[in-house]
Amino acid sequence: MSKRESHNQSRLKLNHAHERKTSYFNIFNQSYIKPLQRTSEEKPVIGRLEKIDFPNLSLFNLDAKIDTGAYTSSIHCHKISLFIKNKSSWVRFYVLDPDHPVYEEMQHECRVHKVKKVRSSNGLVEERVIIRQKAVFYGKISMIQLSLADRSEMRYPVLIGRRFISSKFFVDVSKKYIYKQD
């Protein structure tokens, strides 16, 4: 191997548990760089803000903030109270604030999916009720887990976390409202 070839190669040590191997690769030869494998079905791209519908809650065309830093999705609610119905835990709540443009004074009841400790945007850990709801997002109907939270100090009433988006979408934070609903 010439001095020039030696200069263009890097030494890489790989530790394979019980054996140690030394391999060489040419850092200037792009043929060693494998292109990303494309799947047959690409994930659609969504922006940092999108619209979402919750038909079972009679909520349509709500602004939703896409937040890859949050694991669980949440929706703004108030007057949240737990009760027992048919030996199961249920929750009563009102969605949105009276000053929201699509607010309706309508009490909702849902079966509690679980109660979970969630770290809020201010860093405090609080217990929240999680429900499962049907959502229409990006033209598709999906089930989503929503924590019921007081988001009155937040700009958007719905937050979509990575649990819902991770296997379905890529997020482009420089864009908003990419998907146009009919």
Mean pLDDT by 10 residues, the chain (182 residues): 49 40 49 49 90 95 94 94 96 88 88 91 88 95 95 92 91 92 61
pLDDT for the residue numbered 23: 44
d(CA 181, CA 153): 27
Q: What is the rounded CA–CA span in Å between residue 99 and residue 125?
A: 28
Residues 27 and 78 in one domain: no
The verdict on residue 24 lying in a domain is: yes
The pLDDT value recorded for residue 2 is 56
Residue type, 64: A
Looking at the structure, tell me whether residues 64 and 137 fall in a common domain: yes
At 102 the pLDDT is 78
pLDDT of residue 27: 54
- Nearest in space to 84 (alpha carbons), one of 109, 101, 49, 47: 109
CATH number, domain at 75?
2.40.70.10
Query: Is the same domain home to 27 and 95?
Result: no
Let me know whether 92 and 7 are in one domain. Answer: no
pLDDT score, position 7:
44
Within a domain: 78: yes
What are the backbone angles phi and psi of residue 101, rounded to the nearest 5°?
-55, -30
DSSP per-residue codes, the chain: --HHHHHHEEEEEEEETTEEEEEEEETT-GGGSPPPPPPSSPPPEEESEEEEEEGGGTEEEEEEEE-TT-SSEEEEEEEEEEEEETTEEEEEEEES-TTSTT----EEEEE--EEEEEE-TTS-EEEEEEEEEEEEETTEEEEEEEEEE--TTSSSSEEE-HHHHTTT-EEETT----SPP-
For residues 73 and 139, membership in a common domain is answered with yes
- Are residues 19 and 69 part of one domain? no
Query: Residue 38 domain-assigned?
Result: no
**Residue 104 placed within a domain:** yes
Beta bridge partners of 146: 73, 131
Q: 15: domain range? A: 3-32
pLDDT for the residue 181: 65
DSSP-assigned beta bridge partners for residue 141: 136
Considering the domain architecture, whether residues 17 and 77 belong to the same structural domain is answered as no
pTM listed for this prediction: 0.73
CA 133 to CA 131: how far, in whole Å? 6
Residue 182 resides in a domain: no
- Listed in sequence order, the residues at least 6 apart from 72 whose beta carbon sits closer than 8 Å to its beta carbon are 116, 118, 128, 130, 145, 146, 147, 161, 163
Same domain, 55 and 128: yes
Same domain, 133 and 49: yes
76 and 137 housed in the same domain: yes
User: Tokens representing 120?
Assistant: 């809020």
pLDDT for the residue numbered 10: 42
Looking at the 3D structure of the chain, how many domains does it have? 2
Specify if 100 maps to a domain: yes
Quote the pLDDT of residue 95.
93
Residue 26 lies in a domain: yes
